[in-house]
Amino acid sequence: MIIVMQHGASKEQVDHVFERITSIGLRYQAIYGEERVVIGVIGEEDLIRTLPIDAMPGVERSFPILHEFRLADREWHKEPSEVTVDGVVFGGTKVVVIAGPCAVENEAMLVETAERVQAAGASMLRGGAFKPRTSPYTFQGHGESALAYLAEARSATGLPVVTEVMDTADIELVASYADVLQVGARNMSNYSLLKKVGKLGMPVLLKRGMASTVRELLMSAEYILSNGNMKVILCERGIRTFEDGTRNTLDMSAVPAIKSMSHLPVIVDPSHATGRSAYIASMSKAAIAAGADGLMIEVHPNPEEAISDGAQSLTLDQFDQLMRELGPIAAAVGREI
C-alpha cells in the first residue's frame, strides 16, 4: 500500500502513521519529497487494510498495490483458465454459444428450441425458471416445473443447461436440475448467494451488475472462488448509461479489460445488452472479435408471443443464420464456433 501524506503534514502526524504501521508488524519506506511525504508499506497487504489509514490525521489518501481479487487475478494465474461443463469448454479455442428462451414457457417450446439451436451449433441451453422481473406484476417464471422441462430438454438433446438461481433458499433445488447456476445481474452483489454457490462447487455463470464496474464483478467472482469454487464464467450483459436507444450499453471493452485483469473465461450476452433482436448479429460478431469466450443469446420459436423479452429474442431461423455468419469471424481471430 502507498500512503500519501497531506501537504504540510506535521512530523508528529507522519511519525504516528509509522507507529501504527510497525505496531502491526509491518515495515515502511518513506520518501520525503519537496511537497509531501509518501510512505510505502512493506509486508502483508491484508494486514495494512485492517488499519483505518485514511482516518489518520495528516493522511491525504492511500491506495493498494495488490488487487483485492487475488484468486481471480491474472497476475497470480498467468494462463487463462478453462471451465468445463459436461465436455463443453469455456476459455478454449471454441467459442461456446448458449442459446434458448428468456423464460421456459412450456415443454414443447423448450424442446423445439433446444433441438433447433443444437442443430445450428449451440453447445448449451438457457432458460429461466425463476425470473428476476422489474415489475412484481409480470410473469415470474414457472419455477420447479420449468426446471423439470429443462431436464427434459437436456435428455432430448444432450445439451447442458444453465438457469438462474435468485434466492439462497432455492439453490439446492436449482442445482439438482441445472448444469450451470446463473447468478443474474441483479444478484451480482448478493454476497450471501455468492458464498453459497461458491460452497456448492458447481459451475457458475456470473453476470455483471448493470451498475457495477469490472473490478466489482471480479470482487463478486472472488466471493465464489474464495469459497472453494474455481468454476466461474463471467458474463458482460450491458450496463446502464445515459443512452436510451438500447436497453443497456454493451461495454465491449469489458472483454479485453477482464481478460487482462483475470484468467477467468468471459462471455457476452448481446440480448440483454441491446434489447433489440436487430442488433444481436452485429454485437455477437463484435464480441467474438473482441475475444469473448462465448455468447449467450435469447432465442424463441415465436418472439411475438414470448412471455418475456420477445423484442430481443431471435427466431429459430435467425439464430441458424447468425451461427453461419459467426464462423468466419471466429476463424479471423483464431477461434472456432
Q: What is the contact surface with ligand PEP in residues (CB under 6 A)?
A: 102, 128, 132, 164, 184-186, 207, 237, 269, 272
- Which of ligand PEP, Mn ion, none does residue 185 bind (CB under 5 to 8 Å by kind)? ligand PEP
Residue 198, exposed/middle/buried by CB under 10 A (0-12, 13-18, 19+)? Answer: buried
Q: How far is the CB of 41 from ligand PEP (least distance, A)?
A: 39
Q: Which of 236, 166, 165, 169 is nearest to 202 (CA)?
A: 165
Q: How far is the CB of 228 from Mn ion (least distance, A)?
A: 30
240 binds, among ligand PEP, Mn ion, none (CB under 5 to 8 A by kind): none
Is residue 193 a contact point for Mn ion (CB under 5 A)? no
Please identify, using beta-carbon distances, which residue of 58 and 270 lies nearer to ligand PEP: 270
Give the shortest CB-334-to-ligand PEP separation in angstroms. 28
Residues binding Mn ion: number (CB under 5 A): 2
User: Shortest approach of ligand PEP to residue 1 CB, angstroms?
Assistant: 35
Nine-digit cell at 7? 501537504
Residue 285 touches which of Mn ion, ligand PEP, none (Cβ within 5-8 Å per kind): none
Q: Which of 211, 187, 214, 276 is nearest to 74 (CA)?
A: 214
Nearest CA to 300 among 170, 164, 112?
A: 112
How far apart (Å, rounded) are the C-alpha atoms in residues 179 and 181? 7
- Which CB sits closer to ligand PEP, 67 or 196? 196
Contact between 230 and 202 under an 8 Å Cβ cutoff? The reply is no
Binding marks (x or -) toward Mn ion, 260..299, rule CB under 5 A?
A: ----------------------------------------
Assess 102 for contact with Mn ion (CB under 5 A).
yes
C-alpha cell at 272: 440483454
- Determine, following the binding rule CB under 5 A, whether residue 307 of this chain makes contact with Mn ion: no
Q: Alpha helices of the chain — where are they, by DSSP H?
A: 11-23, 45-48, 107-120, 144-157, 171-177, 191-200, 214-225, 254-261, 270-274, 280-289, 316-332
Residue 39: strand pairing partners: 3, 30
Q: Which is nearer to ligand PEP, 133 or 215 (CB)?
A: 133
All three cell numbers of 333: 481471430
Q: Which of 5, 309, 319, 326 binds Mn ion (CB under 5 A)?
A: 309
Which spans of this chain sit near Mn ion (rule: CB under 5 A)?
102, 309
